Chain A
Amino acid sequence: AQTVTQSQPEMSVQEAETVTLSCTYDTSENNYYLFWYKQPPSRQMILVIRQEAYKQQNATENRFSVNFQKAAKSFSLKISDSQLGDTAMYFCAFSEYGNKLVFGAGTILRVKS
């Protein structure tokens, strides 16, 4: 069974600085998808960024980028120029064949002014 591990329960960062959230996963599959989801306090979960395992190039979405290391089964999220609105719980998730999502336990990110 696939598992996703987020080893940082909480992180904090100053506004405008850069922060990296870590994620490792375990799978025997070769083709899969990886995601970072954001869940703001009392609001619904939204997709931040996704990575297809067959693509070597790391995904980037504006201030959000990933460092995908397939051999190491590592998938970290870098947030540049952090903003107060980035304060949220961040979940790393895995999907095989684009079906059900397997989530990590999450990392609470607090952006401080």
Chain B
Amino acid sequence: DTGVSQDPRHKITKRGQNVTFRCDPISEHNRLYWYRQTLGQGPEFLTYFQNEAQLEKSRLLSDRFSAERPKGSFSTLEIQRTEQGDSAMYLCASSLVLQGFNEQYFGPGTRLTVT
């Protein structure tokens, strides 16, 4: 078990550029979550997948954001036409849904800086 991994760990981009982040969950986990954390704040939910199906999206996820989880394994989060307000840590978490509670395991995050 290698844990949840995210790539890249850091990304600096210019305003208006597109960026894509990748998350590899723990191998047997069927659920994958994306959160955004700004400095000094708690993470905010963006979206989650069960297998390849995207089951919920937050209002925070504007039309410039899109997430995919093809084949129910890794996931990508793309931000188009980045804005300075997109600067944040983007966290991925995965869990195995059996019955009732499912513990979410977090990755190290991708820190995005938009200049």
Q: Which A residues contact B (CB, under 8 angstroms)?
A: 4, 33, 37, 43-47, 50, 52, 91, 93, 98-106
Contacts of B40 in A (CB 8 A): 105-106
Interface pair A45/B101, CB less than 8 Å apart = no
> Nearest chain-B residue to A106 (Cβ)?
B42
Give Cα distance in the complex from A47 to B101, angstroms.
13
Interface pair B101/A46, CB less than 8 Å apart = no
Give Cα distance in the complex from A4 to B42, angstroms.
10
Least CB distance, A48 to chain B, in whole angstroms: 12
Interface pair A103/B43, CB less than 8 Å apart = yes
Interface pair B45/A47, CB less than 8 Å apart = no
Q: Which B residues contact A (CB, under 8 angstroms)?
A: 4, 33, 35, 40-45, 48, 56, 91, 97, 100-104, 106-109
B103's partner among A43, A50, A99 (CB-CB below 8 A) is A50
Main secondary structure, interface of B, reads loop
Contacts of A44 in B (CB 8 A): 4, 106-109
Interface pair B91/A45, CB less than 8 Å apart = yes
Interface pair B107/A100, CB less than 8 Å apart = no
Interface pair B108/A43, CB less than 8 Å apart = yes
Give Cα distance in the complex from A105 to B42, angstroms.
4
Give Cα distance in the complex from A45 to B91, angstroms.
9
Contacts of B97 in A (CB 8 A): 98
Give Cα distance in the complex from A82 to B100, angstroms.
32
Contacts of A99 in B (CB 8 A): 48, 56
